Structure formats: C-alpha cells, structure tokens
Structure 1
Amino acid sequence: MKQSKIIGTGHYVPERVVKNADLEKMMDTSDAWIQERTGIKERRHIEPGGEDTTSYMGTKASRMAIEKAGIAVDDVDFIVFATLSPDYYFPGPGVLLQKQLGFKKEVGALDVRNQCSGFIYGLSVADQFIKTGMYKTVLVVGSEIHSGGLDMTTRGRGVSVIFGDGAGAVVMQATDEKDKGVLSTHLHSEGEHAEELSLIGPSTTDWVPNYIERNDPEDLRYFPYMNGNFVFKNAVLRFQEVIGEALQTNQMTADQIDLLIPHQANLRISQFIQKQMRLPDYKVFNNIQKYGNTTAASIPLALSEAVLEGRLKEGDLLCLAAFGSGFTWASALIRW
C-alpha cells in the first residue's frame, strides 16, 4: 500500500486589511476587547465587487501549491475542495476551480462541507484515495469568504470580529516511503449540538422567498450564530481528545511532536491546548492574529506560511487538529 505525502503548499489572502480599529467605527467594540477574547489584531476581507470569489481564491492558492510541488496542473488526478461559503448554492466550487486552473483532462472534483474541520476531512479523503491506488496526485483546497455574510453591527460583534477571508491548498502525492507522509487521520462528529454554531437560513427549510416576504430586519437566521462559551468548552475538550487519539494510534507522545498547527478558531483555545500538552512556543504555529478565523482555509493557510518560514524540516512530526460547526473535529499526524 502506498503512503500519501504533502509535496506542495500554497495560500492566498485578499489585499484588504481590516484592523480592529476599523471595526471600532462600525460597532461598539475595541482593539483591547477583541484581542483579549480572541487574540486577533486584523483580518482580510475581499473587496466587494472585486474578482475574488471562494473558488478563485482557492485557484490562486492551488497555483502556488502546484508550483511549489514542481508539477503541472494536469499531473493532478483529483480535486477535494472544502468550504462553508461556496460561490453558489450549486454547482460546488470544486468544478469552478477545475475550470479556472485550466485542466486539459476531466478530473473529478469533490466538495466537502465540514466547516472548520473541512480541510482535515478533505485531507483524509485524499489520503484514502492515494493509499488504495485510485489516484496518485490529489489537490486539497480550503477557501472561505465570510465577510459579506457577517452582521457588522454591535448586535453581531461576538461573531463578526472573529472571521476573515482566505484560502490554502496542498498537493498530496503517492510515495513508497513507508515512514513518510500521512500516518493517520481521525474524524468525528456530534450532531446533537449542530445548531450551537450555525447559519440556519435561507435554507431548504426556509427558502429565500419566505425571507423576502417577511422582510423582518430582526430575523437573524441569515447571520451566523455561535454559542461562544459552549463552543469554547467543547473545543478545548475535543482538541485534546483527537490529538491524543492520533498520538496513541501511532504509539507516540506529545513531546515527539515537532509542530502543531491547530485550526485558527481562537488564539485562547490554541494557547490552552498548548499549555495542556506542555508544548513550547516554537512547537505551535498560530497566525490567527493576522487573518482571523478562516474556517476550512485556516490550517492549509497556516501550513503554507509555516513552510515558507522554515518551521518544518524533513522527518519532522506534524500534527494538524480542528474543531468546528457540526460539531465536527478531526486530526492528522504527518511525518514531513
């Protein structure tokens, strides 16, 4: 059986920087309030009406990953695209990316809807395809545009200050090196708490015409909702569990991890996990301070930056972990 390893990483973020001071002009908040609760200093938002879409940002990140991998677009055999913010209700962004990258062959494209855990779910799917021999090279993408759907008023500040726009991508390829690449992935969900972090409408349970007919400005179901304290408590628990599961499966301990890249949900969550695992700062990578929470894009975006900064060397043990809406949570242990 083949192993799968990451041979190229890439990312893209919009040029528009939105600092905490900019949000102070839109809502009753402050730089100190935001940083104390989330660790975020700024985030990126697309320019309304500009060229950036979820699929196009994913395309830009993918081009970088393909270039870093040293392969051609048509060397890719399959696409996995993770997002909660697709360009359209349908079709999904995977096929749009396939068009934008200019494939000469009709490769398949799979869309993954697991929100903050979406990239690791996508990585796991790609890993299985490669290990079974179905595909040799798989492109895994995470891309999100949150900015246009946030309540940028005091009413929505608990959610709106957290999220940003961005994209990340990796190229995964088969290898015969038994001690390299993805060692294991671990995927979980708990639908009992699905509505605690959600965007309920418009949806197939309440179509757009119903919203237009009601025209109720106090109807908040079309804005994201998050039960912040409840999500935080569940996140710190599940992060620890799923990282521990990966280590136990591979008969390893936390001190053997060379780099942990957690989903960039909240810097306070990452710091809590780091403290519980007794990991020094140089073994944990965070960039939420610059980009906010970019959901499915956060891990590949952070991984791409970590590679560029020289934070990973051959043979290092890399751990990825995520928790988010669904609830879903996941981890991956990778020998770089």
Structure 2
Amino acid sequence: MINSYIKGVAHYVPEQVLTNDDLSKMMDTSDEWIKTRTGIHQRHTTGDTNLGPADLAVKASEILFDRYSIDRDSIDFVVFATSTPDYFVPGSGSIFQNKLGLKNVGVLDIRQGCSGFTYAITVADNFIKSGTHKNILVVGAEVQTTQLDFDDAGRGTAVLFGDGAAVCLVSATEKNKGVLSSHLHSDGRYIQELGTEYPSSKYKDIITGDDVKNRKHHIHMNGREVFKHAVRRFPEVITEGLEHNDLTMDDVSLVIPHQANYRITQAVQKSLNVPDHKIFSNIHKYGNTTAASIGIALSESLEQGLINDEDIVVLASFGAGFYWGSVIIKW
C-alpha cells in the first residue's frame, strides 16, 4: 500500500519587519492594543521590493532543497496555494515553476485562503496514493501587505496580516506513516464576511476608478463573525479527524492550527482541553500569513525539535470562503 508522507518542510519570510510600534505611527493603535486583541507583536512585509508569492516560494524551496538534499528534478508535480497570486490570471504556479527551474511538471493552483495549506496537502496526498506521482511540492505563499490600508479605516485588517511562504515535499512511501486522513469543508453563505471582491469578472471592466477609490480591491473582514465561526469549526474538524482514526487528544503530540489570531487559538485550546505543550503558536512573530501560516508553523516546529518519528500531528485551518479542514498525520 502506498502512503504519502512529508519528507521535508521549509519556510521563508521577507527581511523587512513591521512592528506594532511602526503601525502606531500610521494609524490610531498601539502595541498593547494589537497584542491584547491578536497576540501579534510584528509581521514581515515585502515592502517596496515588488516580490510576489512565487518569489517568496522560490526562496523557501531553495532552503528546502539545501536542508534535505533534495534534487529538484525529482519533483513531478506542484500544488500552489495562495489567495494573493502574482497575476490576476493565471495563478502563481507556472511563474514559480519557471523561476525555480523545475522541469515542465504539472502545477495546480488553488485558492482556499487560510485553508490553502490543508487543502494542498490533501490534494498531494491523494495524487500520491493514486500512484500517479511520487514527489509533490506543496506551496503556501502570500503577499498580503500590499493590499492593506495602513490608516485608521483599514486598522482592522492592517494589524493582522503578514507576508511569507512555506513549502513541503510530499513523497510516496510503503512504510506505515504519513497522512492518515483529511477532512475538508466549506460554507459559501459567509463569503461576504472575509475576502477581496475586486477585481471581479462579474463586473464590466473588472474594476473601476470608483472601486479603487472605495478600496474594494483591498481585503475586508467582519472580525466578530469570523471569530464566532472559527472557534466553532476548529474544534469540530479536529475532533472529526481524531474520531475517524480512533484517536483522542491524548494520542496527539502537537496541534498546529492556522495562525489567525491568538485569541482564536486559545479558545480552541480551551474547547478541546489541549495542554500548552501540545499546541503551537508563532503568530506573535509573523501575524496571519494566510495559506503560508500552517507551513511556517510546521517548519518551525521541526526546527525546534517538537515533532519526532511516529508522533501524531494535527493540522487545522479555517478562513475565507468559509473553508476549513484538518489533516491528521503520523510522522
């Protein structure tokens, strides 16, 4: 029987750091206000470098190849998750494939927002288990800060998001390890609560000057509504994954949730009675990096020696769409 496992993980964030104190000089906020409501201390930004998510993903991939001695020619497929593609059309996948110097392999672009990484791993897992591919590069990369409004009107989102990329190599194995199951969900009734509507093919000219003036091409979020659903869906989908595999939280070594807001993580932790040492958070350093956040957290977990062979690791996500999901892994 063919299983899929994560052979290696790496991440990259831009060098420029934007602290809460920096933001306090642009809008009516403070370091204490942001930390209290989000747990975020700083975030990384591409600034004026004109780097896109494909560029960040290339840098993360070079780290991956070097760290795990991976031959790029062994990669036979790519799944690229982002909500902020380099181009309106096409997605970032082919840009990434070219810049990284991969062979003319297939690339699949997906846009599941904050759940991008869990969806991407699920796609890779199923391709591997079907026998069609052996080494799939999964990418989660975002450049969010270029679409934020750094003023009082945009404060609700400007304090949250950061830029970054994470990559992992999902490979085939006959050993009893790897992805045990994935559990994916959506509910489009709440599409207006979080997202970026313009540019949109629904409207003539895709976007107008008035749309830009009214900032409709920038991300918007109903924070209260997102919080309410997140603290419900995270525990549901984590429990669903554990029950599917006849596991309990006692069997789990580490839960890595999407890094949306530290208050959400705390609520999920409390709901599931997860001990502090079993849940990972790094939102204080990076903010919400959307499709990259779980991958960055997974990469840092490995760097810190928090995951060992045969550990049960739970990845869980919730975000725009609404999309949410969990992936249960035996390391």
Which band: TM-score by shorter chain?
over 0.9
1:89 partner SS: coil
1:210, distance to aligned residue in structure 2 (A): 4.8
Summarize deviations over 1:40-72 as a string: whole Å, max 9, x none. Answer: 000001131x26221010111122223333320
What letter is aligned with 2:17? Answer: V
Matched, 1:205 2:202: yes
Task: Assess if the C-alpha contact under 8 Å between 1:43 and 1:165 holds in 2.
Answer: yes
Structure 1, gaps ≥5 residues long: none
Contact 1:8 1:67 (8 Å CA) reproduced: no
Alignment of 1:1-336 (within 5 A): 1-48=1-48, 50=49, 52-103=51-102, 105-178=103-176, 180-206=177-203, 210-212=207-209, 214=210, 217=213, 219-336=214-331
Q: In the alignment, residue 202 of structure 2 is paired with which amino acid?
A: T
- Post-superposition shift, 1:205? 2.1
Amino acid at match of 1:41: H
Matched residues in 2 for 1:310 and 1:153: separation? 40
Count of residues paired in the alignment: 331
C-alpha deviations, 1:231-284, integer Å up to 9, x for none? 001001000110001001000001211001000000110111111221221111
Q: Secondary structure at the match of 1:141?
A: strand
Partners of 2:285 and 2:212 in 1: CA distance: 35
1:320 partner letter: L
Aligned counterparts of 2:272 and 2:79: Cα–Cα separation in 1: 31
Letter in 2 for 1:305: E
Contact 1:5 1:175 in 2 (8 A): yes
Range moving further from structure 2, 322-331 or 200-209: 200-209
Question: Once the 2 structures are TM-superposed, how far is the Cα of residue 208 of structure 1 from its aligned partner?
Answer: 5.2
Amino acid at match of 2:107: A
Quick one: which amino acid aligns to residue 157 of structure 1?
R
Distance 2:229 2:20 in 1: 27
Q: Percent identity?
A: 48
Distance 1:86 1:223 in 2: 14
Structure 2-normalised TM-score? 0.97
Tell me: CA distance 1:146–1:216, structure 2 relative to 1, closer, same or farther (3 Å).
closer
Q: Secondary structure at the match of 1:258?
A: strand
Q: 1:303 to 1:208 in 2, by over 3 A?
A: farther
Distance 1:175 1:200 in 2: 41
Distance change >3 Å, CA 216–CA 240, structure 1 → 2: closer
167-176 or 66-75, which moves further after superposition? Answer: 66-75
- The answer for unaligned runs of 5 or more in structure 2 is none
How far did 1:152 drift? 0.8
Matched position secondary structure for 1:86: coil
3-state SS, counterpart of residue 326 of structure 1: coil
How has the CA–CA distance of structure 1 residues 309 and 61 changed in structure 2, closer, same or farther, with 3 Å as cutoff?
same
Residue 152 of structure 1 aligns with an amino acid whose one-letter code is F
Q: Distance in 2 between matches of 1:272 and 1:65?
A: 33
Rounded Cα–Cα distance in structure 2 between residues aligned with 1:216 and 1:128: 40
Q: Which amino acid aligns with 1:95?
A: S
Alpha carbons 1:12, 1:58 under 8 Å: kept: yes
- C-alpha change, 1:37 and 1:73, in structure 2 (3 Å) is same
Mapped contact 1:21–1:31 kept (Cα < 8 A): yes
